[in-house]
């Protein structure tokens, strides 16, 4: 029985949104994928089964804080990936 497809990490959604808001001309898919990995590795996991449950039980202040952490993590990850690019 496989149940792993039934859960998600809420930070993945927030990091994707932060990446979209900071997207720059010339960003490649490989670069943004690396940014997402680095950013997610710097954030805690926040798993859920159903989006509606996560949104219902999450306080506005907590969601705002998670969005701020995600954006800061993405900005830091962009710098890190840029400085450590493979050639």
What are the extents of the domains in the chain? 4-83
How far apart are alpha carbons 15 and 33 in whole angstroms? 11
Contacts of 6 (CB under 8 A, 6+ apart): 49
Give the separation between CA 39 and CA 61, rounded to whole angstroms: 21
CA atoms within 13 A on the CB side of 44: 5
Q: Please report the pLDDT score of residue 1 as a whole number.
A: 54
Residue 50 region by backbone torsions, left for phi larger than 0, else alpha for psi between -120 and 50, else beta: beta
Q: pTM for this structure?
A: 0.87
- pLDDT beyond 60 at 53: yes
* pLDDT mean over 52-56: 78
> pLDDT per residue over 4-50, tens digit each?
678 899 999 999 999 999 999 999 999 999 999 999 999 999 988 88
């Amino acid at each position: 029985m496989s149940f792993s497809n039934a859960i998600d990490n809420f930070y993945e959604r927030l990091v994707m949104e932060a990446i979209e808001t900071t997207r720059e001309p010339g960003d490649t898919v490989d670069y943004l994928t690396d940014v997402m990995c680095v950013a997610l590795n710097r954030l805690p996991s926040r798993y859920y089964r159903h989006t509606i449950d996560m949104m219902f039980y999450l306080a506005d202040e907590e969601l705002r804080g998670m969005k701020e952490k995600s954006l800061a993590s993405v900005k830091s990850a962009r710098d890190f990936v840029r400085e450590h690019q493979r050639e």
